[in-house]
Structure 1
Amino acid sequence: MDENEGEYAVQVLTEGENFTRVQKMLDESSADDIVYAALYFLADPDIVDSIKAAAERGTEVRLILDPNENAFGMDVFGMPNRPVAEDLMDLGLPNLQVRWYNTGDEQFHPKTMAVFSSSGLQVTAGSANFTSRNMRDNNLDTNLYVEADQGSDIYLEIESFFEEMWTNDGADYTLPYEHYLNPHSSWREWVYRFQKISGLSTY
């Protein structure tokens, strides 16, 4: 980063630009990088494919997802994160891991993804869920995208944010993927696919 510029590079992203940035971050990640994401909804098929491709290249991908047990007091049957997570975990890649946030009656509501590399940090966070409705010019969602050098304050703070949840440092923040193994996965997968094709969903 140029010494005459500020410590961080910051960009405001709206609507479809959120999708473009997230996909670029994933597609440019390498085997030396770690991708962390903390998400309420993960459903956009192209983003899911970019996650798969990143992991297949050797990128360490760690996803912390809401289990989608409830949404504002209503039962949502694990949609969409449970079938998406199952699809990802079926790849059998040791560097692609999922943990569930340990929710009660609340939701785990962030929409945050960070790429940590030897050259620094890229992070996006804001209101845009990782779904087609939120990232394909349907909703007026806004995120901030930030680039920072390795070892900078924001690099260390965001790294600590993810590591504490991933390792349960100080509290039982997250649960292992196996905690929500789905005994009706074929039924749930069918409903998920139907909702995606028909558009009868919030994602």
Structure 2
Amino acid sequence: MRAIKVLLVDDQELMRQGLRKMLEIEDGIEVAGEAADGEEALLVAAECRPDVALVDARMPRMDGVELISRLSARQPGLASIVLSTFDEDDYIFGALRGGAVGYLLKDCTPEELIDSVRRAGRGETVLASPVAARLVAELRRTPPAPPPPAALRDRLSAREAQVAALIAAGASNREIAARLRIAEGTVKNHVSSLLRKYALRDRTRLALHLKDPPPS
């Protein structure tokens, strides 16, 4: 199986070195590149084409929120995880709206970080417990979006409907691929199509929307 290629983005060199040493001893994980800020990260990501990016929230020249938004637009298959000391709402929700698949705090354990990288590489969402609690609280405060019109639901293909049902059940892209006997890349294409049709920005909101849709 191909190793998960990881891009490290942090303005502290000591932090990048520590992450590199931690990840490189793990089977199935390869540190493909490093960057000290968002602008450099865009260039490095274009060269090394990582699967997962570990991104600091606060950096000079371009912060993590803007970087993730740009990476999501340029490399839709890239799974970005914020790794930060800050658990402020602006960073959390900004990153998730921009396309991040996870938000971790730097006081997480090495085991939690490594597991999160592997899960993100499989297409799963990874959130630190305090971040998940804030996200749930925010979603409860936010009025539900109107349901898609019947015409939109009718435009879902049979395969898209199957993928949507499995996403709602909490399955990862890899699990969906195995269940439907299709390539993982095909699953990602269906997820992208569902995001467009439901007018949602990221997989996390799609899963929540499909799991608990607003009443018709």
TM-score range, shorter chain: 0.3 to 0.5
- Structure holding more strand per residue: 1
Give the structure, 1 or 2, with the largest relative contact order (CA under 8 Å, sep 6 or more). 1
The TM-score, its normalising length taken from structure 2, stands at 0.31
- Per the normalisation by structure 1, the TM-score is 0.33
